[in-house]
Amino acid sequence: MKLWGGRFTEDTDKLVEDYTSSIRFDQRLAEYDIQGSIAHARMLGSTGIITLEEAAQILEGLEAVLADVKAGRVQFRIEDEDIHMNVERLLHERIGPVAGKLHTARSRNDQVALDMHLYMRDAIAAVQAGIRELQTALVQQAQAHLDVIIPGYTHLQRAQPVRLAHHLLAYFWMLERDHARFHDCARRTDMMPLGAGALAGTTFPIDREQVMRELGFGHLYENSLDAVSDRDYLVEFLAAASLLMAHLSRLSEELILWTSEEFGFVELADAYCTGSSMMPQKKNPDVAELVRGKTGRVYGHLLGLLTVLKGLPLAYNKDLQEDKEGVFDTVDTLLPALRLFAGMVATLKVRRDRLQDVFARDFSNATDVADYLASRGVPFREAHAVVGRLVLEAIRRGTSLAGLPFEVYQAASPAFAPDIYEALDPVRVVDARAVRGGTGRQAVEQQLALARERLAGDG
Ligand code: ARG
């Protein structure tokens, strides 16, 4: 007999039962569901809606069911449709008919909303902790490699040299924004929906504030229709998750490029790579590739939920049951990705040998030659053209800007003096970018200090 079976005279079609049931995936909410029910039952008792004795029986029963769930001793059933009715059935098995009083002044519609808010609160905190772990690894590597200079790229063409630390810290700041977005999302998750009933509220004199306080929420939904149909906080979570995955995917791509023999800037620890069944020499960056690949499913979940919500009339519709799998899968995608990345970055080896003479043949110091002229009164546009011709000349001679004899410089512009060669050194080039936010040593040190402050700021 179904909990809602009163007005039915025929059994549910088996296929319908399977199709509409959510227990396969919402069993993940079991502990939150019971936690919410405990707060609800206590409130029903203290407001006198049920007797204190009944409340005590229900609470004791719920604690026992909770212990069973935690120990993996329960068997969920498809026929009981979802986690809410499975828990109620388990409670009934323990304490008998008084279990039927738990659902007073409540609907599964506000109940499932509560469960998801409780679940998301923990999930967001876990994601934020994962972000902090990765940020910490980035800061440590930046600190350890302050002296390492790598080519910086635009259009994936050599542009200007940058400190490796600067490059790594760029990801720190992306992740800092991600952290802030999840913080925002947590604020709008911090709302207690119970009391909305199915859609219109309840006739019982419940105490919503008590439930809110007991469950540690800061706010109540002020509209019962909104309370049962709001999934904005889930969309926000998926949107924040999508951006986070975009960042991880970009970092993945760079690590994949950088570990290739063509770049050869870094090597990943063996622990974070896999081999080939055929080619004995292979060491593949599978983790980074998978994170890059899994980004698509998170984007998909965001678009999926937005599409579910579009055009839904108020208030609850069964479509809303489709909010869960995508969110759960996103959490399951994010948490290991963050943990793996933290380990992969922390154990990254920088190939100083390969980076030593990486600038010997490139022109990534060309801007500095133009800047040299500009700071000696030559209009920058003109300086740009002069240096362009010098680059062409160097290519023709098969050398670099440093390899051109001084006569060539003199012939190109009378503003050149022999000290031009000092301006060509990659370390000089980098440190000349002393502007706040630039890649010069002191600027990067300042940046590192700020990054550390952010990490310490969490307390
Ligand atoms: N399993 C449902 C869900 O996830 C719970 C709410 C069901 N409410 C209802 N009236 N059928 O959305």
Confirm or reject CATH 1.20.200.10 for domain 109-355, answering yes or no: yes
* Contacting residues for 394 by C-beta, under 8 A, at least 6 apart: 363, 400, 401, 403, 404
The rounded distance, in Å, linking the Cα atoms of 403 and 360 is 10
Report pLDDT for 357: 87
Cα 115 to middle of ligand 1, angstroms: 11
Q: Above 80 in pLDDT, residue 416?
A: yes
Handedness of CA 187, 84, 323, 119 (dihedral sign): positive
Three-state DSSP state, 154: strand
Q: 157 - beta bridge partners?
A: 154
The rounded distance, in Å, linking the Cα atoms of 348 and 341 is 10
Q: Above 70 in pLDDT, residue 436?
A: yes
pTM of the model: 0.96
Q: Above 90 in pLDDT, residue 213?
A: yes
Cα 189 to middle of ligand 1, angstroms: 19
- Cβ < 6 A, ligand 1 pocket: 22, 26, 82, 108-109, 112, 316, 318, 320-321
Q: Which atom of ligand 1 is nearest to the CA of 316?
A: 10
Cα 22 to middle of ligand 1, angstroms: 8
Report pLDDT for 164: 98
Mutation to probe ligand 1, out of 87, 108, 320 (largest number of atoms < 8 A from CB)? 108
CA distances from 286 to 74, 134, 187 (A): 37, 18, 36
Q: Above 70 in pLDDT, residue 151?
A: yes
CB 429: neighbour CB atoms within 10 A? Answer: 24
The rounded distance, in Å, linking the Cα atoms of 169 and 71 is 43
Amino acid at 380: F
Domain coordinates in residue numbering, the chain: 5-104, 109-355, 366-457
Cα 110 to middle of ligand 1, angstroms: 9
Report pLDDT for 269: 98
When comparing pLDDT for 98 and 360, which is higher? 98
Confirm or reject CATH 3.40.50.720 for domain 366-457, answering yes or no: no
- What mean pLDDT do residues 360-388 have? 96
The rounded distance, in Å, linking the Cα atoms of 12 and 299 is 36
Confirm or reject CATH 1.10.275.10 for domain 5-104, answering yes or no: yes
Task: Let me know how long the chain is.
Answer: 459
Cα 321 to middle of ligand 1, angstroms: 6
Handedness of CA 266, 268, 269, 275 (dihedral sign): negative
Tokens linked to 336 = 């290991």
Cα 276 to middle of ligand 1, angstroms: 47
The helix (run of H) or strand (run of E) holding residue 121 is helix 108-144
Average pLDDT of the chain to the nearest whole number: 97
Active-site positions read: 155, 276
Report pLDDT for 321: 98
Report pLDDT for 415: 98
Tokens linked to 58 = 């229900």
Report pLDDT for 27: 98
Nearest protein CA to atom 2 of ligand 1, as residue: 321
Question: For the packed helices 52-70 and 30-46, what is the interaxial angle rounded to 10 degrees?
Answer: 170
Q: Above 80 in pLDDT, residue 282?
A: yes
- What mean pLDDT do residues 140-148 have? 98
Q: Which atom of ligand 1 is nearest to the CA of 320?
A: 12
Task: Dump pLDDT digits (tens) for 320-349.
Answer: 999 999 999 999 999 999 999 999 999 999
Q: Above 60 in pLDDT, residue 110?
A: yes
* Contacting residues for 231 by C-beta, under 8 A, at least 6 apart: 305, 308, 309, 320, 323
Cis peptide preceding 315, ω within 30 of 0 = yes
Report pLDDT for 3: 86
Q: Which atom of ligand 1 is nearest to the CA of 83?
A: 1
Nearest protein CA to atom 12 of ligand 1, as residue: 321
Task: Dump pLDDT digits (tens) for 33-66.
Answer: 999 999 999 999 999 999 999 999 999 999 999 9
Report pLDDT for 459: 56
pLDDT band at 223 (very low <50, low <70, confident <90, very high): very high
Report pLDDT for 360: 87
pLDDT band at 458 (very low <50, low <70, confident <90, very high): confident
Mutation to probe ligand 1, out of 20, 80, 82 (largest number of atoms < 8 A from CB)? 82
Mutation to probe ligand 1, out of 28, 29, 88, 112 (largest number of atoms < 8 A from CB)? 112
The rounded distance, in Å, linking the Cα atoms of 324 and 128 is 20
Report pLDDT for 2: 85
Nearest protein CA to atom 4 of ligand 1, as residue: 321
Q: Which atom of ligand 1 is nearest to the CA of 198?
A: 10
Q: What one-character DSSP code corresponds to residue 96?
A: G
Parallel, antiparallel or unpaired: strands 149-154 and 157-163:
antiparallel
* Contacting residues for 63 by C-beta, under 8 A, at least 6 apart: 38
Report the percentage of the chain scoring pLDDT > 70: 100
